[in-house]
Amino acid sequence: MNLQLETDSQLEIDSLEIFQKDILEGLSMSPKKLSSKYFYDKNGDRLFQQIMAMPEYYLTDCELDIFKNKTERIASPISKINEPFDLIELGAGDAMKSSYLLKYLEDSGSDFTYMPIDISRNILSILNEKLSLEIPSLEINLLEGDYFDMLNKATSISKRKKVVMFLGGNIGNMDLEEARHFCREIRRRLNPGDLLLIGFDLKKNPHTILNAYNDAAGITAAFNLNLLTRINNELDADFNRDNFEHYQTYDPISGACRSFLVSLCKQKVTVKNSIFNFEENELIDMEISQKFSQDDIEKLAKDSGFHIITEIKDSKDWFVDSIWSI
């Protein structure tokens, strides 16, 4: 027990060091950049829950429509794996969408272990409790940590076939080069017969997309500004949130939906004894939420060594879950 606590606090120290290094490096870049992967502290998690419930934010409902109403189509290529397999979900959260697939596979007699990967121990224990009640016969192996560390662990634990899922349009929070690298890294860990299921938000009416990230209630703005508060709290910094404003763009040609914070005045900010100067109207690049065309998805699959075996869209054709094999 003590050993476990020591390991946990060492993990916290390590991740704080990485956080500090990334933030200081990002603020030294030109243009300044902060990674949206750091949006999700406790308050950020709460704000993201609010975003998912906003009328403008369609992504969650679209993918839920797929998992809830087209479960059989999602399950079809997975059910064809005629041997025991592991179903690994990257960033599983509370498995709200995947639970429909898990139930379907379990009810139809598939022999599999569900391996949710998440960095949040809290969310994994909530998920475990929820799934144990909803699908008591489901075999679950919780993997807490970084995606690739845990994927390595999963591939070393068992040599069974693998189905890897990456839902929610999270692939869009990487630029195209990072997404290619990410998919290639997954590819390296898979074998023939394994599958990868990725959720992509599709290019659509640009107003619909921009509204989803530029909501009237200002929750997305608060979600971005919360990272400044997190840096203040964890890295002894003195960002004044009132001196920054959220600015969102969408380029319908490239599909890049980007969020920035704009410095409203010339100002200095101290983070861990380093001073950063901001000009009036200087930007911090905060997040990309890339939108995809069918061609973009095909190119990404091909460039990272996969081919698409099936795709399932929601009833509005706004979001697609694409299933790939190698």
Interacting residues with ligand AVI (CB under 6 A): 51, 59, 168-170, 172-173, 213, 220, 223, 287, 289
Rounded to a whole number of angstroms, the minimum distance from the CB of residue 215 to ligand AVI is 9
User: Rounded CA gap, 300 and 203, in Å?
Assistant: 15
Which single residue brings its beta carbon nearest to ligand AVI?
289
- 12: exposed, middle or buried (Cβ count in 10 Å: 0-12, 13-18, 19+): exposed
Using the minimum distance from each CB to ligand AVI, give the nearer residue, 116 or 168.
Answer: 168
> 312: closest CA among 98, 97, 72?
72
Do the bridges between strand 161-166 and strand 195-201 make them parallel or antiparallel, or are there none, so unpaired? Answer: parallel
**59-69 and 71-79 helices, crossing angle to 10°:** 60
Using the minimum distance from each CB to ligand AVI, give the nearer residue, 59 or 225.
Answer: 59
Using the minimum distance from each CB to ligand AVI, give the nearer residue, 59 or 95.
Answer: 59
Rounded to a whole number of angstroms, the minimum distance from the CB of residue 46 to ligand AVI is 13
Rounded to a whole number of angstroms, the minimum distance from the CB of residue 166 to ligand AVI is 10
Q: Give the length of the chain.
A: 326
Using the minimum distance from each CB to ligand AVI, give the nearer residue, 85 or 116.
Answer: 116
Using the minimum distance from each CB to ligand AVI, give the nearer residue, 50 or 294.
Answer: 50
Rounded to a whole number of angstroms, the minimum distance from the CB of residue 228 to ligand AVI is 15
Residue 88 backbone dihedrals phi, psi, to 5 degrees:
-105, 125
Rounded to a whole number of angstroms, the minimum distance from the CB of residue 171 to ligand AVI is 8
User: Rounded CA gap, 88 and 142, in Å?
Assistant: 10
